[in-house]
Amino acid sequence: MNIYLQLFFTFLKIGTFTFGGGWAMISIIEKEIVDKKQWLAREEFLDLLAIAQAVPGILAVNISVVVGDKLRGMKGSVAAACGTILPSFLIILLIAIFLTPDLIKNNEIISAIFKGIRPAVVALIIAPVLSSAKSAGITWRTVWIPAAVALLIFSGLPIISNPIIYIIIGGVVGYIVFTRRQLSAKQNDKL
Amino acid sequence: MSVYLHLIWSYLKIGLFGFGGGYAMLSLIENEIVKHNGLPAWGITEQTFTDIVAISQMTPGPIGINSATYIGYVVPGNAGFESVWFGLLGSLVCTLSVVLPPFLLVSYTSHFIRRHQDSAIIKGVMSGLRPVVVGLIASAALLLMNSDNFGVGGMELTVSVLLCVASFLVVRYTKLHPIAIIVGAGLVGFILYYLLNL
């Protein structure tokens, strides 16, 4: 089979059977690409994974784009990305056509079910706050940063409630602090 | 047609600034689509937004794509373009918009990133983003803890708080899949609000 079709169908399979987005997808992609298809060595894959994470956007799509790009350039990445996107696009499109917000609101049974679901969904978002704080190495000395970001966005005030601001500030401050530290480390080495 | 331009612009921003995975992206989506757009024609409420997150959890694929497809379908209808085809077009442009910026960045900067992976630029920026991402996820959780999702008071509020706490404990301390939690909470909702008519 044509390599582009292979890329497309491999990622179509991955897109169809992974629930829960990027992180859940990584191990499955690794199994398909490295172990089964042997398109990439494990180290190459980890290298690509680092790139996919350094770029904004949807992690699963980013991984398919870097893998496709590595194997067959631009055309390869289009084929792989289409495969990843197509299943969720079609499934959600069908759901959107039949399960409209009006239906959820006005159908007694569906509305009762969703009344139960909504508080659980909030819990599903609270849980990764703690796990991401742990993996980001947040301590009692640095906890003010995510707390301030969350409260300022929550405030709903114009401009300062826009999350994009904090992404830009975080990136710029991180860069400055990191280069300063490297500079002072170098100077200490010289002394 | 300006509703399409707004959708495209919003999802381009979401794609360009969406660092830190799906949950962190929720805060961006909320800000672009639910919260600040003063346009009443969009009609995406906090409730609908939470429902989309629930649907996303129960269907395959990343939440960024799922929300783009669903919101892209619903919004043109709310703005007066009521046909499946207008919705389909909305789904298509939103989904393409959210993947376009990362697609271009990966295609054109991966060589640069590969060369500079250990450099101060990438490492520094990533280390600065990490605590912000935690804040973004927390803000999404805070924004959704409202009367839209928990009810105004009385029995519904009590049930909602209990469901939220119970779900949190299950996610945190067991290996149960999130889908099972959503199905369970939906079942509780069906029994309490429909069968027992609370």
ipTM, 2 dp: 0.89
Min CA distance, B39 vs chain A (Å)? Answer: 15
The residue range of the domain holding B169 is 151-198
Q: How far apart are CA A121 and CA B142, in angstroms?
A: 12
Domain match, B88 and B28 both = yes
Domain match, B81 and B100 both = yes
- The pLDDT value given to residue A191: 67
Q: Tell me: the pLDDT tens digits for B9-50?
A: 999 999 999 988 888 899 999 888 886 555 555 778 888 999
B113 band by pLDDT with thresholds 50, 70 and 90: confident
| Element (DSSP H or E) covering residue B18 | none
Largest CA distance in chain A: 75
Q: Tell me: the pLDDT tens digits for B60-98?
A: 888 899 999 999 999 998 888 888 899 999 999 999 999
Domain match, B156 and B132 both = no
Task: Note the pTM of the prediction, 2 decimals.
Answer: 0.90
CA B21 to chain centre: 11
CB half-sphere exposure, A174, CA atoms < 13 A: 23
| SS3 of residue B91 by DSSP | helix
The residue type found at A114 is F
Q: Are A59 and A25 a contacting pair, CB within 8 Å?
A: yes
Q: Which residue of B has its CA nearest to A171?
A: B125
Domain match, B106 and B166 both = no
The answer, yes or no, to whether residue B145 has pLDDT greater than 90, is: yes
CA A162 to chain centre: 19
Domain match, B135 and B72 both = yes
Question: Above pLDDT 90, what percent of chain A?
Answer: 57
Question: Quick check: B61 and A129 CB within 8 A?
Answer: no
Domain match, B73 and B50 both = yes
Tokens of A15: 């897109």
A178 band by pLDDT with thresholds 50, 70 and 90: confident
A52 band by pLDDT with thresholds 50, 70 and 90: confident
Question: Quick check: B23 and A125 CB within 8 A?
Answer: yes
- Please give the tally of structural domains in chain B: 2
- The pLDDT value given to residue B189: 95
Lowest mean pLDDT of A115-119, B39-43, B82-86, B127-131, name the range.
B39-43
User: How many Cβ atoms sit within 10 Å of the Cβ of residue A13?
Assistant: 14
Domain match, B129 and B186 both = no
Domain match, B8 and B49 both = yes
* Final residue before a domain boundary, out of B111, B127, B147: B147
Which residue from B97, B66, B71 is spatially nearest to A22, judged by alpha carbons?
Answer: B66
- The pLDDT value given to residue B89: 95
> Which residues in chain A have their CB less than 8 angstroms from residue B16's CB?
56-57
Q: Are B151 and B193 a contacting pair, CB within 8 Å?
A: no
- The pLDDT value given to residue B36: 53
